[in-house]
Amino acid sequence: MHDAHVATMREPTYLILVALGAGERHGYGITQDVLDLSDGRVKLGAGTLYGALDRLVDEGLVAATRSETVEGRLRRYYALTEHGGSTVRLETQQRLAVARAAATHLGLAGGLA
């Protein structure tokens, strides 16, 4: 067995970073993007989302950018940091490499479509 790097970032974390890769988002926008990106498989509750965002801010991957009040509710916005952008791009490249290798290994016609 060879020692290839396999992506270790948990899927919800990865999808949050991907959602923010399209630009600044508020919490609800992130949850909707994650739902769309995962084809409905990953549904983030508020506690899970904000816990992950707080951790990503602490790790320097995401920055809280601004807040506003909309219809009496606080809406917080987040964006990728430069480090977060490079991290999510690297993670995506690694996940694609694994998926391509898997498609070849499994004999899927044409590999990845």
pLDDT in tens, 14-50: 999 999 999 999 999 999 999 999 999 999 999 999 9
Cα–Cα distance, 37 to 109 (Å, whole number): 24
Pick from 31, 27, 17, 30: which is nearest to 66 by CA? 27
Question: Whole-model pTM?
Answer: 0.84
More confident residue, 92 or 109: 92
All structural domains of the chain: 11-105 (1.10.10.10)
Cα–Cα distance, 44 to 64 (Å, whole number): 18
Q: Report the 10 Å Cβ neighbour count for 72.
A: 5
- What are the residues facing 4 on neighbouring strands? none
Cα–Cα distance, 34 to 40 (Å, whole number): 8
